[in-house]
Amino acid sequence: MSEHIVVLGVFVADTAYRADRQPRMGETILGNSFALGPGGKGSNQSVAAAMAGGRVHFISRLGRDPFADMARATWAKAGVQPEITEDADSYTGAAYIFIEEATGNNAIIISPGAAGRISVDDVEARTELIATAKVFVTQLEQPMPAAHRALQIARAGGAITILNPAPAAAIAPEMLALCDYVTPNETEAEGITGIPVATVDDARRAAEALLESGVGTAIITLGEKGALFHDGKRSKLVPPFNAGPVVETTGAGDAFNGGFAAALARGTDPLEAVRFGCATAGISVTRPGTAPSMPSLAEINALLAG
């Protein structure tokens, strides 16, 4: 069994505009700032896992354009091995993010482009890579059939399977049954189980419902409360790590999933791997951006040793 991690997911270029308000139809207004950066849950998670010491392969689709160049540069810097289908008939995905200056509230349009065409064929072309992985990770930003097929291949090959069920969506029970770990936040946990998650006890009930639906272990991320690990034998709230003042929480879930995957790939006990994921997220929120905020293995270990 190899020690490598395979992530299936999407890359999008995040274009973030700050302004006092949104323009009305037909109106042009002046913005206060603009930022362009790499995004997409799968891409962010692959960067987080590689920065945290994992040997990571990322399966996705890109167009042939400047945003694709940005994607490749992002992965090269983090040490992620791209496994990319180039789609000349489409474009690399992009997100329009409007941020209201006074409140920080946002409104987002995502156009996935080539990543919206990730197919079962793309996955099956990389059967060997997925089947020999130590850990396989996916989310729900690419088409569901591709994620489902990849989980089947990973499970058949003996990989540890992680599903980050984001964004929230209905998931077939037979797909959940392929998952060793499912890592929703409060909203996503409610979306799958129908149980509103406001407290840690609610999270336990939702986690138990996930286990009943065939999931091996449920890990529900609870923001500033930390993360609940629940596998039927152990049910433990792992507290968050304070690594300094919070700058931006956008990539925290991706940091957690990437760090968690990297720790599992090294053979770390799952509960300890959750602590490692929480430390990874704790550092990431002290920095702006998503992929650029992911900490190094040395930084995570220093916080854990704290």
- Closest alpha carbon to 170 in 149, 148, 202, 203: 148
Whether 254 is catalytic is yes
Which is catalytic among the residues 14, 122, 202, 254?
254
Per DSSP, helices labelled H in 38-81 are 41-51, 66-78
What are 106's strand-pairing partners?
Answer: 99
Neighbours of 34 (CB within 10 A): 10
Q: Are 94 and 113 in contact (CB under 8 A)?
A: yes
For residue 36, the surrounding DSSP H or E stretch is strand 33-39
- Closest alpha carbon to 247 in 293, 299, 297: 293
- Cα gap 33→99, rounded to integer Å: 10
Q: Are 222 and 228 in contact (CB under 8 A)?
A: yes
Rg of the chain's alpha carbons, rounded to an integer? 18
Per DSSP, helices labelled H in 132-236 are 144-157, 173-176, 186-193, 200-212
Active site residues: 254
